[in-house]
Structure 1
């Protein structure tokens, strides 16, 4: 079974990303930074937050869903704010999504907030609302149940340091993983956590029995040439039984976002 985790960067590199997803076709795709604008039929809209201006695929969720037609798709919004078509504001939802190949029965799900609550009238002040989603599937090839839970961690304008909000976020993420899992399940937790390798977030998950695979397997970054700021770690994948890992990679080629895909083979 292949599990992929990726921050999709709002679909900015969708021309590279969609063929990569079709070719790789992970059994479970955990995708963060997903845009869904059902009121618009535009291909592109613009996100504006002060000096931060970024093109966004207006319906990135549907782009990926069409690229993976054999997958069941779930979109989990954290907020509805405004993207721009020139000078025209367009209501747009922002969050994360999970795609599960239809050959895997989904036998449990959990969706909930790890910071604040749904923001219905704007993206809100930083640090903004954050949602997590977990699925429990039955893996017939391995004759086992597997739970996979992911989130997009808080972006703090001051950096990736430990904060009480990030620690509470980690505890809520862990609680959601526990909620969607049953005794004996193989458990995976992943996402763009927006923290450094020595963070309290990872210590909380490690103390709960999870092994972190990115730094644990010697990878020195989860970012690529599209990311030019300091701090080359953001994304992590953890598992509670490392002996179940057949292979794990931080994929540097092709570049399909400013984040590298994390690819776990069980």
Structure 2
């Protein structure tokens, strides 16, 4: 919990460190009304900082605090309202409201009015949470197939242009189970990301390995490999897995990012296997404690009408594409003209407890996954989602 000293009427955000969106615990004293305590949420909106929340006065009556601030090195309070139920107004069925405009105190009473003199009442704010904004990409890069050496630069450019904070790659190839020159080179060309690769399918006794990777703008503090259930023999049946990376955000928050690629075929037994794999992934996610956000990102080989998708939603995971762009089909597969268009790549998210999570916007890299001159980038479109999530501050 980070203390922030403020001193302009009930609230002042003159401290630049207090201008961070998030949740704050507040306490203070208002002349004639006494002491109050409560919690407000500070948000950035239209070039201003706005705060609002509930407070309770020392005599037990309820109230509210809200206002707007122009941010900057010396933040200026534009408007502020302090509300108190009870008193004369409460007896008349209303509330007392004191308003201030700029640095000059003013008051407007609802059913009652009161005056006050001290314009420098100290208030205390303690930050309880902050809001992180993240950009996440999912990209199936088609392995080493279809002239990777020719495609590598175009794949790197697609990532670099999207400028994501976190990237989950599928169909990446490594020379060992835990090392991929392909991924490391791609991360360097895309802008210098940290990487974690885990291979799950070994092509021969000597390799190479096919697997998933996570690219992160920030340090990867830990990782885990989770083999997923296997199914019937045939095309598309090979070991699948979930690659977890625990990312240390500069704010101190830990982010658990999982990259996965589910079974491919579409017979009844194959569909049942995908459901089993999805449930294994959600169980793995629920067992990871201590993260401010968990993401399960990748190629699910399943449409939004499938049992696999329903299994993810039933387990409490949120489909951020559908939240950011409701009604938009968001087709990511069959970009080579084989089969019908379908949405099979997803960014699923699950914050802990009741932490606020919002899908801000989403888009597909393209609109096609071919370069300007028509060269192939991949057989999938890349999915990019921007989100905000509330994370705790301090103990």
TM-score relative to the length of structure 1: 0.74
Query: 2-side partners of 1:235 and 1:171: how far apart?
Result: 17
Separation of aligned partners in 2, 1:187 and 1:91: 31
2:226 counterpart of 1:112: yes
> Which ranges in structure 1 are unaligned for 5 or more consecutive residues?
39-57, 83-88, 118-122
Displacement after TM superposition at 1:108 (Å): 3.7
Give the Cα–Cα distance (whole angstroms) in 1 for the partners of residues 299 and 268 of structure 2.
12
Residue 155 of structure 1 pairs with residue 264 of structure 2: yes
1:187-266 to structure 2, matched below 5 A, reads 187-216=294-323, 217=325, 218-220=327-329, 221-223=331-333, 225-240=335-350, 243-253=357-367, 255=369, 256-266=377-387
Matched-pair contact (CA < 8 Å) for 1:222–1:260: yes
Extract unaligned runs of 5+ from structure 2: 1-133, 370-376, 388-395
Task: Mark the structure with the bigger radius of gyration.
Answer: 2
How many Å separate the matches in 1 of 2:230 and 2:222? Answer: 24
Q: 1:175 aligns with which of 260, 264, 283?
A: 283
Q: How many equivalent residue pairs?
A: 231
**Which of 161, 165, 169 is residue 273 of structure 2 equivalent to?**
165
Q: Which residue of 1 aligns with 2:109?
A: none
Return closer, same or farther for 1:199/1:91 CA change in 2, 3 Å cut-off: same
Deviations 1:19-71 (A, max 9, x none): 22233342211000012247xxxxxxxxxxxxxxxxxxx95334313314632
Contact preservation (8 Å) 2:135, 2:165: yes
* 1:94 pairs with 2:214: no
Match of 1:15 among 131, 153, 158: 153
- Which of structures 1 and 2 has the larger relative contact order (alpha carbons within 8 angstroms, sep 6+)? 1
Which residue in 2 is equivalent to 1:45? none
Q: Is the 8 A contact 1:160 1:196 kept in 2?
A: no
Among 158, 166, 169, the alignment partner of 1:28 is 166
Q: Residue 134 of structure 1 contacts residue 180 of structure 1 at CA under 8 Å; is this kept in 2?
A: no
Structure 2: distance between partners of 1:75 and 1:108: 12
Answer yes or no: is 1:63 the counterpart of 2:185: yes
